[in-house]
Structure 1
Amino acid sequence: MALIMPFVSVAISILYTPFLLLILCIIFLASIGKSLGVRRLYVNILLKLFEYGRQHIEVAKRIQRHDSSDEEDEPPVPPEDKPPSAIIKENGSLNGTKMSVIEREEILGPSPELNYKRSSSQERVKNGHTPDHKGEVSVQNNLEFHLSHCLDLVKAGMESIIEDQVTSVFEAEELRSWNLLTRTNRQYEFLTWRLTIIWAMGFIVRYMFLLPLRIFIFFVGVWWLLVCTACVGTLPDGPFKQKINYGVSIMCFNFLSRCLSMVITYHNTHNKPKNGICVANHTSPIDALVLMCDNCYSLIGQRHNGFLGLLQRALSRASPHIWFERSEVKDRHIVAQRLKEHISVPDNPPILIFPEGTCINNTSVMQFKKGSFEVGGTIYPVAIKYDPRFGDAFWNSARYGMLHYLLNMMTSWAIVCDVWYLPAMRRAENESAVEFANRVKGVIATRGGLVDLMWDGQLKRMKAKKEWRELQQEEFSKRLKGE
């Protein structure tokens, strides 16, 4: 045993030294806000692998179609001749838009004034006009009910059953091409032996090398955050403490971003918020991490116990944050008062809020809660768009727990995203909080290439309100009366 111990100590030192040097290098680069470009080079290599895999998949599919057509003695159907119903949704494109299976003529919203894309026939019925047998429009003083008057609504309802706007945004995006992750698409890894080799090597890299390294960086990063915030917390309150906290916060969160191989591109940094309220679309719990790698923010949320509570207390030592007890979260007056108190201090960091209140799958923006738009002050919109080719950042909390989600994130290739800082916005004099929230939401959706939806994200957990149905019924009765 005595002879073995020196060899064991040498082996441990050989394994320990590279990790120590790696951690020191990451801390140093994070502290000065620099990067060696290794992650961007890694991402570019992945793009070439994805393109290579896509070409081989297309070749394999053409061979399979050719073989099947020879057996059946029928010519293959060219892709461009497919009917519209055969087009599948292709999310994950660079512009962020998504394709629909059906073309809608009307979409019913939570209230009649939010209905849009109304067909011409409905406009005629609403104004007391109906087409005659020649197709011309004539005015009817006494509008009679015809079964055709309700067909547009029936059609809209059937379209919603086939493809509604709500449930689709709570499912993971479908990619245009395979990204070598079997959990995001069909099992293409067995089409050819080349794809099988590439997928097997990628599996080994992700689970045998990247996962242990990322877990190690995560635990070291959390420990480093606790130590740094504790040191900053000993300083007296004032401009000096805030300046130190700004640099320490960016350093610590940049370090933590390495555990997910994040590659973040920030646009229009001259619009970066300095105070007030910063609002952003919400895709993942790591949205805050993405933004705090470039700026210092105050956070708002429910007070927790355990590991999350430990992080909350650590962050509160160094910077002002707003944490509520469970009984206070639903009290809008308490929340509004705390927000007003925070933004009334000019030296406080901007407070980061995700008004949707739930995670959306990186394709759309849903209804913003009006609470953060009622307190006044300046609103700084921020649009976040993830590149789903490298990993799915969306957290489907109804399907996966936090540990499962973190495992998926740490075994993905990388987290690549773009962040756009938008010009500051203020509420107009005659503008309601709801109108202001919708205006901010529209700006974020346009800049991020996201679909602007009117629906409440809480429909993920609850049914549509009874009042919404009653409003649509009242609107339909007005159409029949010719009002």
Structure 2
Amino acid sequence: MAGILSLVWFVGSVLITPFLMILLCIVFLASIGKSLGVRRLYVKLLLIIFEFGRANIETAQKGSNAEDTSEEDEEHIEEISPLNSNATNDIKHLKTPNGLKKPNNGYVPNGNSVISRDDKLILVPEPPFTMHKTDETTDLSEAKDKCKDYDLCNIFDYLKAGMESIIEDQVTSRFEAEELKNWNLLIRTNRRYEFISWKLTVMWVCGFFVRYFFLFPLRVTICFFGVWWLTLCTALVGYVKEGDFKQKLNKYVSVMCFGILSNAISSVITYHNEENKPKSGICVANHTSPIDVLILMCDNCYSLIGQSHGGFLGILQRALARASPHIWFERSEVRDRHAVANKLKEHVSNPKNPPILIFPEGTCINNTSVMQFKKGSFEVGSVIYPVAIKYDPRFGDAFWNSSKYSMMQYLYMMMTSWAIVCDVWYLPPMQQNEGESAIDFANRVKSVIAKQGGLVDLVWDGQLKRTKPKKEWRERQQEEFSKRLKVE
């Protein structure tokens, strides 16, 4: 019995000692705001491994089925090429081993469009006299005369828009994981790439053991310690007297604690244009997952606004509220716009308060686009600091599909991914122009964020993934159609 206990003690000490050494190193580096650059070297190594895997997949597939697929691929590409020149390149990629799945009804879920749309609302096609205008000298009155009488062709544009939406729905496609062009040795494809060659099999098995038997236990340990450390530090800060010292101490503690927590997902974050970093007012950003807060809090201290939660998120909310002014709403208050606006105005009116972080989309999008911004935060009249966040999906999918995965399932997926790599751009502060409505201001800020992050700027409300289209939207389509038949 003594021999078994000695063996258990020896194995435990061999496994636990490195974990403790790494943990102490992480805490020390986070406390002084430094990094050894190990994670960036780790990411560079992963890119080399991914490229090696891609080359092996191409070699294996070219040797096995080149003769069977070459003629079919050429015929298939020739049939599809008239639709869109960009679609041709996408279809070619689908026939090569780069990780893309075959499109479903012409839909490629990584944001690439297989049909060509005009820059307009999908369900609000332009009137014929603007769509079919050939040059500037076209007589507008003659074009309008053609639309005075009802004809069956008047509904063709709506039929076209409806068919486009069936082929490629711009809303629901934003709530699916962004597809990869190259396989990243994670099981996110049904192609079974890990068994194409013995080299890939060995790489995949080694990667599996590294992620699940080394990185995952280490990350869980860091996460539990980080939450405990955050709870302890914020509790101590809460006892400090209000003043400038408490604000500086809170900022230091916040950045340090979230820096420790960022190691639980092996985050590699690159911040750009730090001269535009928010100092007060309202900071708005595109929303991909709950870790957006973690990503931004590693570099600055923010106040948060949102609904009160229980469980793991509730622990963090209560811990943060001890040290800094945050705005947490009960379910009964969330729908009270006036209460939200009043608390926002009260917060931003005090220049000593940290900038308040808001995600105006109100739901998580898969980081390929930016959807409709709610106008509430743009009605306050404060300075808006836009921030664009773009994740690199090659190392791990940061998108949280809340209708499919619980918070704990999502954290498990994050901690068993390779890493979370992202870029953050601080954009110049923006103010509402004179005579500009809150909706127009929100759309202007949204377009700036989308452009900087390389995201698609969409007009749709992200809540459509949970609710049906509003009655007002359907009535708007009816009004637009009636205008085309009206005789002036």
TM-score, normalising length: structure 2? 0.89
Match of 2:153 in 1: 148
Deviations 1:334-364 (Å, cap 9, x if unpaired)? 0000001111111100000000000000100
Query: Secondary structure, in 3 states, of the residue corresponding to 2:432?
Result: coil
Match of 1:346 in 2: 351
Aligned AA (2:463): Q
Aligned AA (1:353): I
Does the aligned pair in 2 maintain the 1:278–1:381 contact within 8 Å?
A: yes
Match of 1:303 in 2: 308
Match of 2:451 in 1: 446
Q: 1:233 to 1:67 in 2, by over 3 A?
A: same
Match of 1:405 in 2: 410
Q: 1:205 to 1:97 in 2, by over 3 A?
A: closer
Deviations 1:172-191 (Å, cap 9, x if unpaired)? 11111111111256321111
Match of 1:83 in 2: 80
Aligned AA (2:343): R
* Separation in 2, partners of 1:282, 1:318: 25
Match of 2:68 in 1: 68
Match of 1:19 in 2: 19
Query: Secondary structure, in 3 states, of the residue corresponding to 1:301?
Result: strand
Report deviation, 1:35: 0.9
Report deviation, 1:119: 6.4
| 1:233 pairs with 2:246 | no
Q: 1:141 to 1:405 in 2, by over 3 A?
A: closer
- Give the unaligned 5+ runs of structure 1: none
Deviations 1:42-73 (Å, cap 9, x if unpaired)? 10010011111111112222223334269xxx
Report deviation, 1:398: 1.3
Report deviation, 1:140: 3.0
Does the aligned pair in 1 maintain the 2:238–2:322 contact within 8 Å?
A: yes
Query: Secondary structure, in 3 states, of the residue corresponding to 2:194?
Result: coil
Deviations 1:248-303 (Å, cap 9, x if unpaired)? 10000000000100000000000000000000000011000000000000011112
Q: 1:8 to 1:398 in 2, by over 3 A?
A: closer
Indicate the structure whose relative CO is greater, using CA pairs within 8 Å and at least 6 residues apart.
1
Deviations 1:145-188 (Å, cap 9, x if unpaired)? 22112211111111111112101101111111111111256321
Identity of aligned residues (%): 65
Query: Secondary structure, in 3 states, of the residue corresponding to 2:299?
Result: coil
Does the aligned pair in 2 maintain the 1:107–1:156 contact within 8 Å?
A: no
Match of 2:113 in 1: 100
Match of 1:434 in 2: 439
403-412 or 79-88: bigger deviation: 79-88
| 1:333 pairs with 2:342 | no
Does the aligned pair in 2 maintain the 1:97–1:450 contact within 8 Å?
A: no
* Separation in 1, partners of 2:447, 2:475: 27
Match of 1:287 in 2: 292
* Separation in 2, partners of 1:8, 1:141: 88
* Separation in 2, partners of 1:206, 1:98: 28
Deviations 1:391-422 (Å, cap 9, x if unpaired)? 10001111112222111111110000000000
Does the aligned pair in 1 maintain the 2:129–2:143 contact within 8 Å?
A: no
How many residue pairs match? The answer is 467
Deviations 1:171-230 (Å, cap 9, x if unpaired)? 111111111111256321111121111111111111111111111111011111111111
Match of 1:245 in 2: 250
Q: 1:76 to 1:454 in 2, by over 3 A?
A: closer
* Separation in 1, partners of 2:198, 2:407: 35
Does the aligned pair in 2 maintain the 1:109–1:454 contact within 8 Å?
A: no
Deviations 1:60-89 (Å, cap 9, x if unpaired)? 22223334269xxx6873997573367548
12-21 or 435-444: bigger deviation: 12-21
* Separation in 2, partners of 1:386, 1:203: 22
Alignment equivalent of 1:358, drawn from 345, 363, 386: 363
Alignment equivalent of 1:473, drawn from 451, 472, 478: 478
Aligned AA (2:26): I
Report deviation, 1:22: 1.4
Match of 1:41 in 2: 41
Does the aligned pair in 2 maintain the 1:106–1:156 contact within 8 Å?
A: no
Does the aligned pair in 2 maintain the 1:105–1:119 contact within 8 Å?
A: no
Does the aligned pair in 2 maintain the 1:232–1:318 contact within 8 Å?
A: yes
Match of 2:29 in 1: 29
Report deviation, 1:481: 2.0
* Separation in 2, partners of 1:350, 1:462: 31
Query: Secondary structure, in 3 states, of the residue corresponding to 1:320?
Result: coil
Does the aligned pair in 1 maintain the 2:285–2:360 contact within 8 Å?
A: yes
Computed over aligned residues only, the root mean square deviation of the Cα atoms, in angstroms, reads 2.9
Q: 1:165 to 1:12 in 2, by over 3 A?
A: closer
Alignment equivalent of 2:326, drawn from 298, 321, 324: 321
Alignment equivalent of 1:368, drawn from 351, 361, 373: 373
Report deviation, 1:98: 3.2
Deviations 1:288-332 (Å, cap 9, x if unpaired)? 000000000001111223332222121111111111111111100
